Structure 1
């Protein structure tokens, strides 16, 4: 496995090296240009002074006469090599005795012959280093009679530039070295917390959710640490809910099974007593229905968790569904002395949906409403069609739901403190069914004032 620390350090160092090298190349070029520019300006001043001297005091004589009689005047103005050339570029005089049989046609000489100052940097045969040459026209009145040329070696200048460049390179090397150490330290500040988070995650992966990831910095890694701790807390809560769910289901299953077994034993010995036989069979039938309902609820829940649940859609008349719910639950409401009303808007459109699943939602929600509404209370189911949506409102005058429990009642396995639910998954299943229908399932409640559930399902036309 490649180390992130190593990659980070290398990337940091690479950026520093590129930055330092680029900066040094830029600085060395600036130093070189400044040195060359200063040397050029110095030679310019010297050659212009000599050329002006010639124009003022020696222009009356010919160029050859001046070379014979006044040549010392030109090289006294400078330490550079001095050449005098005619208008064709032939060297007439050289202060160090370099005479070429061929005319000089370098850029500086050509410009001077044309009346302009010229500068040239290049190689000459008699010097192993590059030279800088400055050429200036010699005038007699308005006429150009020749060219004055100053030549100096760049050896000393290049040596100074080289010395400064070495200083820059040495300083750059120190900067890179220090930056490399800093890069390693910076990498440690990132890898350290990340390593701590990884170790915590590994412990959590082994099932130790009590371990905490220590947050060192308030950054992305710190946020990851907070998220990991939150995830562990949520897993522990879900695990606790699951255990409570298993315990609750075990208890709920044991109760009817105990009744069934007890009455089966009783009936085995009292089969000739018709009254006891009738009572026993009624209880066995009731408890069997309870077991069937719990098992069906658990099977539904399992399908939703595994994502295997599907909707059996068909043309559905909502008015008929509401009428069926009213007929099915009215006897129970009468038995529990609860005023149960179903108010439905007339002639609602035919939609495409799963009628059985929709009944399951209403029966489950209304079952809770009856369960938590005391004798003499009210339970009202209304259905209407608004803005291309079917809106169902179930309102009761029961005990309500505590404010702290309200956000959690649709969670899987959750059972409130006052809940009489058998498994804690009924509302969760209802919520999943409505989501499958692309609808919304909203719960509003106030403790000791009642609960209101608003279900919205969009209209869908069957193809």
Structure 2
């Protein structure tokens, strides 16, 4: 079973506190112990220095045995340490406690002192269960040779007891700190987990299709931002869902209309008399037009499906973009004439060398001009302009048609969106146009004012080093 976020936060928090407190305790106890041990060692060194001084001043010309006999009480009574005088063979000549050991050469401090070094050691001795600190120093005769050793042993029982007391006190304080930290961790975990649980619940509701549910988080942190994002997502899904429903309703109606006309006229034509040739021609013409309209709607939907699924690939080649603009304008002139709209062309550069998919660029221009014709009243005008601007080819499609409001302008390139003046069958014409421009690495900007007109600006990047093919 997976652990909850709350338990993981508490566990992580507790592990950090345990590690931190443990490290601090170990450092404090080690430092405290080292401090006391160093203090004891310094005191012993001071006493050792005094013993060496006494030996150098008064006994260096005598044997080590004479020194051992006369200085068995080398230290004052208040110094609680054992004093040993040892010869170079490791024999204990005198001991202030009256304890004589046979194996003192086994101790490292004795071994190093025989080599001329003052050395301390912490460990145990045979005659006591307590830990002791030993300090051994060489005694040199008048010739500078080592004649024996002086060794001080002091019990560490009281010091170790004090260290254990301090360690126990630190452990108690540490447990108290850990308990308080655990309590704080639980409270902190709950404060984090509670909004996460709320967001999870909201997300589960949304996953089940309940997009009207909202997250109620007033915090300004990342969780509050996530809640705001979820709410925005739900609003966008509702909006897109409404657009989708409107699209389905609209496209169903649009598809039904030509199908009804085709079916109706097919029935009429089946029952015509031989002398009704004119009506027969009119019927076939209507069927043909409605079939073309139906085919265009289906082609738009197929194109859009390919674009959003990423299955469209461009068949790029070098061509003259100015010539393409001119050809498309000529192609759309008859439709503009039928709508009683003036269509004009302005090309500032007769040669505009471009690498791209010419058929898709034609589709883009036809789509934009077709839209402009639909939304321009009789006796209105439409203008197609193309020119070079720095590193881009600029194409402008302008009209003095019905225009769009600011709200429509914000959504006009969205999929399935149809404005209040829209005469589109599917609401995806500008979406497809925008996708074509993006596939060519450009961008499309739309400027419009209601009852004034619309200008669509296409910016296509180009390579200045490319030469156009011979068009003959």
Tell me the TM-score range normalised by the shorter chain: 0.7 to 0.9
Deviation of the 1:406 alpha carbon? 1.7
**Structure 2 match to 1:300:** 303
The structure-2 alpha-carbon separation of the partners of 1:76 and 1:47, relative to structure 1 and needing over 3 Å to count, comes to farther
**Structure 1 match to 2:366:** 363
Deviation of the 1:402 alpha carbon? 1.9
Contact 1:242–1:413 (Cα < 8 Å) also in 2: yes
**Structure 1 match to 2:232:** 230
Deviation of the 1:115 alpha carbon? 6.4
Which of 149, 152, 156 aligns to 1:150? It is 152
Which of 350, 354, 357 aligns to 1:353? It is 357
**Structure 2 match to 1:197:** 199
Provide the rounded CA distance (Å) in 1 between the counterparts of 2:313 and 2:400: 34
CA deviations on 1:417-453 (whole Å, 9 max, x unpaired) are 3333232111111112232333332222233432222
Give the aligned length: 462
Contact 2:211–2:238 (Cα < 8 Å) also in 1: yes
Consecutive unaligned residues of structure 2, counting only runs of 5 or more, are none
Deviation of the 1:148 alpha carbon? 3.1
Provide the rounded CA distance (Å) in 1 between the counterparts of 2:157 and 2:179: 32
The structure-2 alpha-carbon separation of the partners of 1:173 and 1:142, relative to structure 1 and needing over 3 Å to count, comes to farther
Q: Secondary structure at the match of 2:75?
A: helix
Contact 2:316–2:355 (Cα < 8 Å) also in 1: no
**Structure 2 match to 1:34:** 35
Contact 1:317–1:350 (Cα < 8 Å) also in 2: yes
**Structure 1 match to 2:379:** 376
**Structure 1 match to 2:3:** 3
Provide the rounded CA distance (Å) in 1 between the counterparts of 2:78 and 2:116: 21
Q: Secondary structure at the match of 1:420?
A: coil
The structure-2 alpha-carbon separation of the partners of 1:239 and 1:148, relative to structure 1 and needing over 3 Å to count, comes to same
Consecutive unaligned residues of structure 1, counting only runs of 5 or more, are none
Q: Secondary structure at the match of 1:11?
A: helix
Deviation of the 1:207 alpha carbon? 0.5
**Structure 1 match to 2:124:** 123
Deviation of the 1:414 alpha carbon? 0.9
Q: Secondary structure at the match of 1:28?
A: helix
Contact 1:209–1:232 (Cα < 8 Å) also in 2: yes
Contact 1:91–1:100 (Cα < 8 Å) also in 2: yes
Contact 1:256–1:288 (Cα < 8 Å) also in 2: yes
Range with greater deviation from structure 2 (206-215 or 167-176): 167-176
TM (norm. structure 2) is 0.83
Q: Secondary structure at the match of 1:441?
A: strand
CA deviations on 1:113-148 (whole Å, 9 max, x unpaired) are 676643222332212333212234567889676543
The structure-2 alpha-carbon separation of the partners of 1:267 and 1:87, relative to structure 1 and needing over 3 Å to count, comes to closer
Matches within 5 A, 1:190-269: 190-215=192-217, 217-257=219-259
Range with greater deviation from structure 2 (116-125 or 27-36): 116-125
Provide the rounded CA distance (Å) in 1 between the counterparts of 2:255 and 2:70: 133
The structure-2 alpha-carbon separation of the partners of 1:250 and 1:229, relative to structure 1 and needing over 3 Å to count, comes to same
Range with greater deviation from structure 2 (124-133 or 377-386): 377-386
Provide the rounded CA distance (Å) in 1 between the counterparts of 2:261 and 2:106: 123
Contact 1:400–1:450 (Cα < 8 Å) also in 2: yes
Provide the rounded CA distance (Å) in 1 between the counterparts of 2:65 and 2:282: 150
Deviation of the 1:366 alpha carbon? 0.6
The structure-2 alpha-carbon separation of the partners of 1:118 and 1:188, relative to structure 1 and needing over 3 Å to count, comes to same
Range with greater deviation from structure 2 (384-393 or 287-296): 384-393
**Structure 1 match to 2:431:** 428
**Structure 1 match to 2:417:** 414
The structure-2 alpha-carbon separation of the partners of 1:135 and 1:352, relative to structure 1 and needing over 3 Å to count, comes to closer
Range with greater deviation from structure 2 (25-34 or 73-82): 73-82
Provide the rounded CA distance (Å) in 2 between the counterparts of 1:52 and 1:238: 100
Provide the rounded CA distance (Å) in 2 between the counterparts of 1:263 and 1:46: 128
Provide the rounded CA distance (Å) in 1 between the counterparts of 2:382 and 2:222: 51
Matches within 5 A, 1:285-296: 285-296=288-299
